[in-house]
Structure 1
Amino acid sequence: MRLARYRRGAGAVRLGRIDGDRLIDVSDVPGVGSSLRAILPRLDELRPAIVAATGPAFALEDVTLEAPIDDPQKFLGIGMNYREHAEEARAAGIPIPTSQLWFNKQVSCINRPHGDIVRPAVSEQLDYEIELGVVIGAECRHVSVEDARSVIAGYVVVNDVSVRDWLHKLSPTFTLGKSFDTHGPFGPWLTTDDDIADPLDLRMTLTVNGHVRQDFDTSDMIYDIYEQIAYLTQVMTLYPGDVLATGTPSGIGAPTQTWLRPGDVVRAEIAGLGAIENRVVDEG
């Protein structure tokens, strides 16, 4: 099942179920409403009614898709979690961490799946990172690797946009370089976990102006998504709607200093999850 937050024109945000190239409104289904995060703990209970909902229906091209979760308590990312990307970093003089390396993306960076990415006036080192996003579906702490999949609501495509000089020179904690406004586009909708046979075997492709920059499989992760959840929940409680960006493969712009420029169109696609596409604009 694929669930989206959307609006038509200047109307209010509502929830819809994606059916091919159409969106079927489900906000009027009893118990659903307009917040996807709010219904995640009851998704199994609500699923039959959501699947059976019959309208109203709209062509996807006639609606504006919003971030599937606009109000998570946490938006976390893991650094250097793909083998070839780690080697790419090593070649650039960046030490490879010996354990999971997590950072915050402040939730104010969240952007629509087709919203503009703003290149900030304070930097020209704007980079892209396609990532599999995991959305938590249940409040959880001390989750084992074996049980980790049971707390996943579903998956989204994330572009972990990064401002490299703020990331490595001015702010070695990573948080500021990962948290500029508009630098967290994800979506295009939430694909629920039951729709994905194996999230550790998904093809990820990112293009800039139609040219392939990243093309890898999620099987190349150093720490898989279940190990990530187990590690994080030793430290903190994860809540429904929390978003985990699970690492990017090689092919980012930093090693060749190939930065994003105004007018560039970045498309990130993951098999089975759909695609997000964002145009780069200068800060005005």
Structure 2
Amino acid sequence: MKLLRYGPAGQEKPGLLDADGVMRDLSAHVDDVAHDTLDPAKLTELASLPTIDLPEVPADTRLGPCIAGVGKFICIGLNYSDHAAESGMAVPEEPVIFMKATSAITGPNDPIIKPRGATKLDWEIELAIVIGKTARYVDQDAALDHVAGYCIAHDVSERSFQIERAGQWTKGKSADSFGPIGPWLVTPDTLGPVDDLVMELTVNGAAMQKGSTKTMVFGVAEIVSHLSQFMSLHPGDVIATGTPPGVGMGMKPPQFLDVGDVVELSIAGLGTQRQTVVAVD
């Protein structure tokens, strides 16, 4: 099942994408794609609905973030061996954890807003895990039972804020619009294994990132289990699992985004995103 949210920003309604690629409204069955909706029993109930009977949503309707009410937006750094190499950093011995402000979350095709003072605006395509059931001190062999599904996350980054302004990485990761998620939340039974998903990102049509989740240092089960040793994971929490090589900072010379640039992202089975960089008001 591919769950989504559609409509104007702040007024999104729940929906799903049917087998023919048609968006359908779920408002009669759930209030939103959030929290209780992500419980395994509720997901099973929604999957059993005859989609042909659900109201159709016009194809040109805006897509919002595929999850509402995200409590935590957790990121895993340097989780691809080839990305760590391009960054000139060692592969970590255990997951590197940092947080991204939930106020950064936007729809998959909403603009990226270049912040004031930004000089090194960068891109990062990531596989994101969405938690469906509370996880606390979970073993790896049970970790996937707590996953509601997966989506694309764009971990937009301002490298000058992240690296040159002292403190934690969070300040370079959390500006408004720096967290597009979606277009869909895809349940594990629909997506299948996530250990070799092709990931691609282009800027103005030129290929920048092309990789696969097979080069992840820490897999999904290990990440969920590891995080649950330090904090409770709740339904609707989003975990961005790291990026493959090809970020602007790692190029020689480095390349960064500017106003007017168009970024397109795709992960096999999870759809596509498309964002245009705009100036801050």
TM superposition score normalised by structure 2: 0.94
For residues 155 and 118 of structure 2, the distance between their equivalents in structure 1, rounded to whole angstroms, comes to 17
Q: 1:134 aligns with which of 129, 152, 162?
A: 129
Bigger drift between 45-54 and 227-236 goes to: 45-54
Equivalent runs, 1:203-214 vs 2, <5 Å: 203-214=198-209
Shift of 1:170: 0.8
* Cα pair 2:3 2:185 within 8 Å, conserved: yes
For residues 46 and 54 of structure 2, the distance between their equivalents in structure 1, rounded to whole angstroms, comes to 15
SS in 2 for 1:85: helix
In structure 2, the residue matched to 1:272 is 269
* Cα pair 1:3 1:68 within 8 Å, conserved: yes
Structure 1 unaligned blocks of 5 or more? none
* Cα pair 1:70 1:110 within 8 Å, conserved: no
Shift of 1:255: 2.1
Shift of 1:48: 4.3
TM superposition score normalised by structure 1: 0.93
User: Aligned residues, how many?
Assistant: 277
Query: For residues 184-232 of structure 1, what are the alpha-carbon distances to aligned partners after superposition, in whole Å with 9 as ceiling and x for unaligned?
Result: 0010011111112211111000011111101111010011111111110
Query: For residues 52-109 of structure 1, what are the alpha-carbon distances to aligned partners after superposition, in whole Å with 9 as ceiling and x for unaligned?
Result: 4612102322x1110011321100001111011011111xxx4553321110001000
For residues 218 and 151 of structure 1, the distance between their equivalents in structure 2, rounded to whole angstroms, comes to 20
In structure 1, the residue matched to 2:28 is 28
Bigger drift between 64-73 and 271-280 goes to: 64-73
C-alpha spacing 1:194/1:252, structure 2 compared with 1 (3 Å): same
For residues 161 and 243 of structure 2, the distance between their equivalents in structure 1, rounded to whole angstroms, comes to 19
* Cα pair 2:34 2:69 within 8 Å, conserved: no
SS in 2 for 1:219: helix
Q: 1:281 aligns with which of 272, 278, 281?
A: 278
C-alpha spacing 1:199/1:283, structure 2 compared with 1 (3 Å): same
Structure 2 unaligned blocks of 5 or more? none
C-alpha spacing 1:230/1:213, structure 2 compared with 1 (3 Å): same
Structure number with higher strand proportion: 1
In structure 1, the residue matched to 2:169 is 174
| Identical amino acids, percent of aligned pairs | 37
Shift of 1:45: 4.4
In structure 1, the residue matched to 2:243 is 248
CA RMSD of aligned residues (A): 1.7
| Residue 161 of structure 1 pairs with residue 150 of structure 2 | no
SS in 2 for 1:153: strand
